[in-house]
Structure 1
Amino acid sequence: MQATDSHATRDLAAEVATQLIDDVSDLVSPPDICVKVFDLVESPEASAQDIGEVIARDTGLTARLLRLVNSSYYNFSRRIDTVTRAITIVGVRELYSLVLAVSAIKSFSALPNTLVNIDSFWRHGIFTALIARRLAMHCRILHPERLFVAGLLHDIGSLVLYAREPETMRDLLLVSDGDEGVLHQAEMAELGFSHADLGGALAARWLLPDGLQQAIAHHHIPSPAIDHALETAIVHLAETLANRSQLGAFCEQADGGAQADGVIWEILGIDAGTFDEAAIIGEAGLQFSETAGLLLAHA
């Protein structure tokens, strides 16, 4: 009987989670521009000029993308003046990742929220994203910008919970006292699912690659992400380091006790004993203010 009850509880939790995603789907569906650019990126016949022309129809998006590619985020020696040129220099999928990042911040910031400061929420996401991008480059991952997107969006499920379960989340935020690991466990105990589960489902709605869906869904407990262990380990470590920093912490105060799951070091090919976390955090810090200013402007 207990096993039957357990299965029924899990099924009910999955049903509730699905309903929450459906409830907000109109607010956080990918904008048309993302869908159109995605189709072009996946088309073997589309050129950089074709993609650039579609993006250029959105003047606000174009301006922000060009400011990003001309910022310290890339640190190019020459100014890039057109989206087509940016695609040629940065790469098609890399620029598409930036389109996703800019569009997602705008879309998910539309969810009603009275529990947390939305700028602080995205500051944590951006700092995690910058570290994830650097780690991806260190691990020689193809198209490291996609890990920037995964880091940026790793907590988007929380925004759904803040919008649809504000009373429950108010209590759980108080219980967790700024500790994301405790918050994740409290969500599982209270709801039967977590913000990470919701985030993975939202990533699927946005047609993010399977690896990023898993990285978001398992960023607190990376071991279940067998098929995409590397991406998940990167986002897990990136968030841990963000929380150990003053600029990027979830609770706006550095958590020196935040520890990464021990399983990730072998996956990443990094020696935990010699890993220079201060250098990684410091590098993200140098890029943070400018990147956050560009991504959060008029979000």
Structure 2
Amino acid sequence: MAKVAIDDVRCGMTLAGDVLGKNGRKLLDAGTVLESGHLRVLRIWGVSAVDVAGGEAAGGARDDTCGDGESEALAAAHELAELRFALADRSHPAVDALYRCCLRDLGKEDRCPLPPPFPSVSDASLLPEAPDSPEALVAGDPALASFPDIYFRLQEAIADPRASAGSIAGIIGNDPGLSATLLRLANSPLYGLSRPIDSLARGVMLIGAGELAQLALGVAVADRFRDIPACCLTMRQIWEHAVGCAVLARVLAAHVGGVSQERLFVAGLLHDLGRLVLLRRLPVHMARAMTMAREARLPVAAAEHELLGFDHAAVGRALLAQWRLPQELADAVGGHHGQGAMARDACIVHVADMAAVAAGYGSNGSPVAPPLSAVAWDALGLEPSVLPVALSQAGRQVDDIVSGLLG
């Protein structure tokens, strides 16, 4: 028996002892002959070394593919899907539909394998003192004191019956970066227009002033958070998850009816806004929270609450309130984890968020999808068959929209 570092473990090696996660949960049994799916599981849960019989694999492959036979790929997909749905009630029809989609897609490719374990303070008592409320956290960052006034000027112009498409486009055109991003999004699969939009005025006429203003809101917020520390998650992972949730929220809104699809797109895009504030203001706490979530198979929001006494949803609500943005947007962002009575927008974002994690769009720091609120699902009156359709639509849009958003 020999202790082998995880980077040196190869397919074909046999475990000499049970492998336990840091929370004591058994991950793999002694005697398991390691395959590629097992290696991925060990890395997902931050295992650094394992006991291997003999320390070497007789004739084992020197990479993680292990032949990649069809049955092995299916077994690996099942294992990853089980991990991703560890907190979910699989007996719920909507969760079962998501699980089947996830299993199908993992059998092809895992869109977003997790990065290596995050650097983290192992003892929570050693963490620096944090603000005692979401409002104090937000107020402590002067850079977040106010929101760019372009959104408010757009709203004033839209409310003016004398405003033309050209005048609205002129307001946007005063910000070249915003203009370029909005044109990229207008020409992305989000709208699927048959002819390219080559000017903002044409975009206003084809897409609508209100819809373009909603996109401007999302883009302006994204621009505020381009300097997040990369110790926990990359900007690409963060915004791919946000866009995945946004696209799914927009698609679900179309099936629910009676709600603005663009408003739900922006609500989905900003649903983890509070996590961006936490990553910016309390990166050490967030590294600890994400490590806790990974090791204990918790939603990151639960780990945040345990460490801070509040979570990212509450921080997002506090920031949107400080910026005087619409209350319905603050309710959707602040309520998307099921806190208290959920408005319909919050219910849609909640379902979209779970589906985005299940589908592997980017990462929110946890490999585990949050539990689905049956109350939120029932409030939308949707059939489970909507979810595979929504995921199929989202899959054709997310990458292009992320590229349009980040440039």
TM-score, scaled relative to structure 2: 0.63
Q: What is the aligned counterpart of 1:250 among 345, 364, 371?
A: 364
| 1:223 shift after superposition | 4.4
Say whether the 8 Å CA contact 2:290–2:365 is kept in structure 1.
no
Q: Which amino acid aligns with 1:266?
A: D
Deviations 1:250-295 (A, max 9, x none): 3485x4x644110022211113xx4342221121011111111110
- Partner residue of 2:175? 58
From 251, 267, 275, give the equivalent of 2:385. Answer: 275
Residue 352 of structure 2, aligned match among 214, 224, 238: 238
Aligned to 1:198: 315
Equivalent residues in 2 for 1:42-191 (5 A)? 42-112=159-229, 114-177=231-294, 182-191=299-308
Is the contact between residue 317 and residue 331 of structure 2 (CA under 8 Å) also seen in structure 1?
yes
| Distance of aligned partners of 1:250 and 1:188 in 2 relative to their CA distance in 1, 3 Å threshold | closer
Once the two structures are TM-superposed, the CA of residue 198 in structure 1 deviates from its matched residue by 0.5
1:266 matches 2:375: no
Q: CA deviation at 1:244?
A: 0.5
Give 1:52 deviation, angstroms: 0.9
- Residues 157 and 264 of structure 1, relative CA distance in 2, 3 Å threshold: same
**Paired residue for 2:406?**
296
Note closer, same or farther for the CA distance 1:135–1:185 as it changes in structure 2 (3 Å cut).
Answer: same
Whether the 8 Å contact between 2:173 and 2:179 is mirrored in structure 1 is yes
Residue matched to 2:153: 36
The structure-2 alpha-carbon separation of the partners of 1:28 and 1:107, relative to structure 1 and needing over 3 Å to count, comes to farther
Q: SS of the counterpart of 1:196?
A: helix
- Going from structure 1 to structure 2, the CA distance change for 1:40 and 1:206 (only over 3 Å counts) comes to farther
CA contact (8 A) 1:113 1:162 kept: no
Measured at CA, do residues 20 and 223 of structure 1 come closer, stay the same or move farther in structure 2, by a change above 3 Å?
closer
Instruction: Output the CA distance in 2 between the equivalents of 1:207 and 1:88.
Output: 28
Q: By percentage of residues, which structure has more helix?
A: 1
**Structure 1 counterpart SS, 2:374:** coil
CA RMSD of aligned residues (A): 2.4
1:171 is displaced (CA, Å) by 1.6
With 159-168 and 284-293 compared, the bigger mean Cα shift is at: 159-168
Q: What is the Cα deviation at residue 140 of structure 1?
A: 1.8
Sort the Cα spacing of 1:233 and 1:129 in 2 relative to 1 into closer, same or farther, 3 A. same
Larger Rg: 2
Which residue does the alignment assign to 1:284? Answer: 394
Between stretches 173-182 and 92-101, larger displacement belongs to 173-182
Q: In the alignment, residue 193 of structure 1 is paired with which amino acid?
A: F
Does structure 2 conserve the Cα–Cα contact (< 8 Å) formed by 1:129 and 1:149?
Answer: yes
- The ranges of structure 1 where at least 4 consecutive aligned residues each deviate by more than 6 angstroms after the TM superposition are none
Runs of at least 5 residues in structure 1 that lack an aligned partner in the other structure = 1-12
Partner AA of 1:269 in structure 2: G
Contact 1:129 1:152 in 2 (8 A): yes
Give, in whole Å, the separation in 2 of the partners of 1:30 and 1:144: 23
**Offset of residue 70 of structure 1:** 1.9
Letter in 1 for 2:394: A
Query: What per-residue deviation string (whole Å, max 9, x for no partner) do you get for residues 32-66 of structure 1?
Result: 32232233234444332221111112222222212
| Alignment size in residue pairs | 278
What is the one-letter code of the residue matched to 1:280?
Answer: A
Letter of the structure 2 residue corresponding to residue 159 of structure 1: L
Q: Is the 8 A contact 1:162 1:169 kept in 2?
A: yes
